[in-house]
Amino acid sequence: MNLRRLWAIMIKELRQLRRDRVTLAMIMGMPVLQLILFGYAINLNLRYLPAAVADQSQTAGSRAAVQDLLASEVIEQHATAQTPQQLIDLLRQGRISVGIAVPPDFERRKLDGREAIQVMVDGSDNVVQSAAGQLAQYPLNQPDDFHATTETPISVVSFYNPERRSAVNIVPGLIGVILTMTMVLFTAVAIVRETERGNMELLITTPVSRTELMIGKVLPYAGIGLIQTTLVLLLGAWLFQVPLRGSLWDVYMAASLLVLANLSLGLLISTRAKSQFQAMQMTFFVFLPSILLSGFMFPFAGMPTPAQWIAELLPLTHFIRLIRGIMLRGADLSDLWPDSLALLAFIAVMLTLSIRLFHKRLD
């Protein structure tokens, strides 16, 4: 490999990139847009669900219990009702998502240890249902209560994300999603574009070697990937106070692994795709399962076994485990060696395949 030639290809690539406004806008715009979308709009931890209360007991205890539930901020009172039936009507009309019914014998039931409050939930929305589930965890015991019992059956303590904020969970994974989206596409398109425009026919009649060509095209994008990582990290810390408990070095190492994995996948696509459009289709084919199966949106443990197998093949799955480990749990790369190793193996396989499949010939 000739370093001067490699350098010439990289410089050429960067110069072309500088003139490609759409791609430049995508490099910077996509991380910002996605961070804001996922960070603000998509909130899996719901608050302020519209609710109504039908307190038929009207005792000091019942009022205090209702106030406690409202104070959780999971629900917000939007309407009042006299009877449980009215609550059901409101639910059906879609005016509320949660109805709180306090029966007339509230105090008795509490003393007997029976269920004292009924929470009615609009089960047609899964997320609302699970959010309302949190309400059921609330203790009804007041500090001054005669029967004060400290024996809550099961207590759940959330480590690493005590406030259960979605952003904390999503932002680290978002680095991976953005890198997957942009890196695979950029390399795949960068090479196919040269074939489409006829530049490749010229390049392959020069003494440039396959390795020089591939590495020279990919390295500038690796740099861009790390810039995107920095952007998401900074915005994540600034807008959402996402903590960084592990070392910054490990974050960049993990990001580099994912960047290289995606770039080599992009290269492989570029050796097969005949047009830029085909390259985009193939990218999408990888992108969708990455988002859905990697554990970014849905917990990995909850997926059926075949889906888990597929997920294990995707670089994003391993990266999400790495980055959440490093940023949120303060782990380092050696703690998470199986996933680091999986990414390395992926890179090796993809690079070998693509250099083999790329010929300096037209047939």
Partner 1 sequence: MTDTAIHARGLTKRFGTLVAVNAVTLDVPRACVYGFLGPNGSGKSTTIRMLCGLLTPTEGDIEVLGLHIPQQAEQLKRRIGYMTQKFSLFDDLSVRQNLEFLATVQGLSRQREKSRVAELLKRYHLDDRQEQLAGTLSGGQKQRLALAGATVHDPELLLLDEPTSAVDPESRRDFWEKLFELADTGTTILVSTHYMDEAERCHRLAILDRGNLVADGTPKELTGELEGRTFLVRANSPRAARDALADAPGVLSVAQIGNELRVLMRDNRATVDTLRSRLASAGLEGDTEAVSPSLEDVFVVATHQQQQREEQAA
Q: Tell me how far apart the alpha carbons of residues 121 and 257 are, in angstroms, rounded to a whole number.
A: 44
**What sign does the CA torsion over 278, 280, 282, 284 have?**
negative
Residue closer to partner 1 (CB basis): 154 or 362: 362
* Interface pick for partner 1 out of 153, 198, 299, 304 (rule CB under 8 A): 198
Q: Give the contacts of 42 (CB within 8 A, at least 6 positions apart).
A: 166, 170
Question: Is 78 an interacting residue with respect to partner 1 (CB under 8 A)?
Answer: no
Question: Is 305 an interacting residue with respect to partner 1 (CB under 8 A)?
Answer: no
Contact 329, 245 (CB under 8 A): yes
H helices of 164-247, where?
166-197, 199-203, 210-240
Question: Is 115 an interacting residue with respect to partner 1 (CB under 8 A)?
Answer: no
Taking CB under 8 A as the binding criterion, the range among 13-21, 36-44, 65-73, 336-344 that sits at the site for partner 1 is 13-21
Residue with tokens 């309400």: 135
Question: Is 281 an interacting residue with respect to partner 1 (CB under 8 A)?
Answer: no
Question: Is 205 an interacting residue with respect to partner 1 (CB under 8 A)?
Answer: yes
Q: Nearest Cα to 58, choosing from 10, 111, 106?
A: 106
* Interface pick for partner 1 out of 1, 4, 41, 146 (rule CB under 8 A): 4
Question: Is 211 an interacting residue with respect to partner 1 (CB under 8 A)?
Answer: no
* Interface pick for partner 1 out of 26, 88, 204, 349 (rule CB under 8 A): 204
Question: Is 360 an interacting residue with respect to partner 1 (CB under 8 A)?
Answer: yes
* Interface pick for partner 1 out of 2, 80, 83, 211 (rule CB under 8 A): 2
Q: Tell me how far apart the alpha carbons of residues 56 and 59 are, in angstroms, rounded to a whole number.
A: 9
* Interface pick for partner 1 out of 58, 72, 206, 281 (rule CB under 8 A): 206
> Closest distance between partner 1 and the C-beta of residue 5, in Å?
6
Q: Nearest Cα to 108, choosing from 149, 61, 53?
A: 61
> Closest distance between partner 1 and the C-beta of residue 16, in Å?
5
> Which secondary-structure segment (H or E) carries 76?
strand 75-80
Residue closer to partner 1 (CB basis): 108 or 197: 197
Amino acid at 80: T
Question: Is 147 an interacting residue with respect to partner 1 (CB under 8 A)?
Answer: no
Amino acid at 21: R
Q: What is the dihedral of CA 293, 294, 300, 305, to 10 degrees?
A: 50
* Interface pick for partner 1 out of 70, 79, 88, 208 (rule CB under 8 A): 208
Question: Is 21 an interacting residue with respect to partner 1 (CB under 8 A)?
Answer: no
Question: Is 361 an interacting residue with respect to partner 1 (CB under 8 A)?
Answer: yes
Q: What DSSP character marks residue 248?
A: H
* Interface pick for partner 1 out of 25, 127, 148, 202 (rule CB under 8 A): 202
**What sign does the CA torsion over 107, 109, 112, 115 have?**
negative
Residue closer to partner 1 (CB basis): 175 or 190: 190
Give the pair of three-digit tokens for residue 343: 């990414």
Residue numbers of the site for partner 1 (CB under 8 A)? 2, 4-5, 7-9, 11-12, 15-16, 19-20, 197-199, 201-208, 360-363
